[in-house]
Amino acid sequence: MADPTSSVAGKRVLVTGASSGVGAALARALAARGAVVGLVARREDRLAEVLADCRARSPRSIMWVADLSESLTASRLGLQAWHAMGGIDILVNNAAIPLRRAVTALRPDDVERVMQVNFVAPMRLGLALLPRMLARHSGLIVNVSSVAGRLGIKGESAYCASKFALCGWSETMAIDLAGSGVSVKLIELGPVDTEIWDQPDNDEAYYRGPKIAAAEAAAGIIEAMGSDRFEHYVPDLKAVIDAKNADLDAFIAGAARMTRP
């Protein structure tokens, strides 16, 4: 198994959604392992706290306050970060927002905002940095998706659509970039104990099972960075996806019967 420390030590890593949850845990873990970390999020006060922790171990770490729901922000941010950090070795598209609401209660604008943050922003950031990574024949793009990008979850059609899109984008990107020196990793997170479960204007989640800690998810992402494989389940829930794919109709029928405890 590759040493996760050696895969990030000395690297310049840009992490979105870094003010809390998995993003904050990942930023701190990267800095502790010797990476220079660029942090991106909307909440300046909380982002500054994470940056202070990172700078204790990695003094050249830096932050940007940005709202990735704004259409052109990600493209501009990518170029700003590249120049400020003297290049970017690893881009981690982690920022995401939930929208737990039955499809019958959704408005198009709500769905588009989720798509903007969860898919369009990663797409724009990746495309902004890609020509520069290709020019030097090296780089890593890590797209943090979810098991919700491989199976439908009741009451989460907007979120699932955004994560399905990110999965398809990442998979085809990896195919197109084969042999270029730029690689792509897709992370399928399972249930992680973060604020995403307790958001205003979201219905209560159907899921009531166990959750892993954000630090465990961050460790899994760093381990994936040093791996030769494309797709990584953190925790390993691939058997659930395989069962769904084996009988999609049975999966849909079972998921439709779900009720909240």
Q: Which of 159, 206, 207, 233 is catalytic?
A: 159
The model's confidence at residue 259, banded by pLDDT at 50, 70 and 90, is confident
- Interval 202-242: pLDDT, tens: 888 888 889 999 999 999 999 999 999 999 999 999 999 99
pLDDT at 2: 45
The model's confidence at residue 5, banded by pLDDT at 50, 70 and 90, is very low
The model's confidence at residue 18, banded by pLDDT at 50, 70 and 90, is very high
Name every residue whose Cβ is closer than 8 Å to that of residue 41 and which is 6 or more positions away in sequence: 16, 17, 18, 19, 20, 23, 47, 63, 65, 66, 95
Mean pLDDT lowest among 9-13, 55-59, 158-162, 195-199: 195-199
| Average pLDDT of span 6-26 | 94
Local structure of residue 247 (DSSP, 8 states): -
CATH architecture of 12-192+205-258: 3-Layer(aba) Sandwich (3.40)
- Interval 133-179: pLDDT, tens: 999 999 999 999 999 999 999 999 999 999 999 999 999 999 999 99
Domain locations in the chain as residue ranges? 12-192+205-258
DSSP strand E in the chain: where? 12-16, 36-41, 62-65, 90-93, 139-146, 182-189, 231-234
pTM, entire model: 0.94
Distance separating alpha carbons of residues 121 and 180, to the nearest angstrom: 23
Mean pLDDT of the residues in the chain? 94
Distance separating alpha carbons of residues 120 and 126, to the nearest angstrom: 10
- Residue 32 pLDDT > 60, yes or no? yes
| 159 given a catalytic annotation | yes
Distance separating alpha carbons of residues 59 and 259, to the nearest angstrom: 49
- Interval 33-65: pLDDT, tens: 999 999 999 999 999 999 999 999 999 999 999
Q: What size, in residues, is the chain?
A: 261
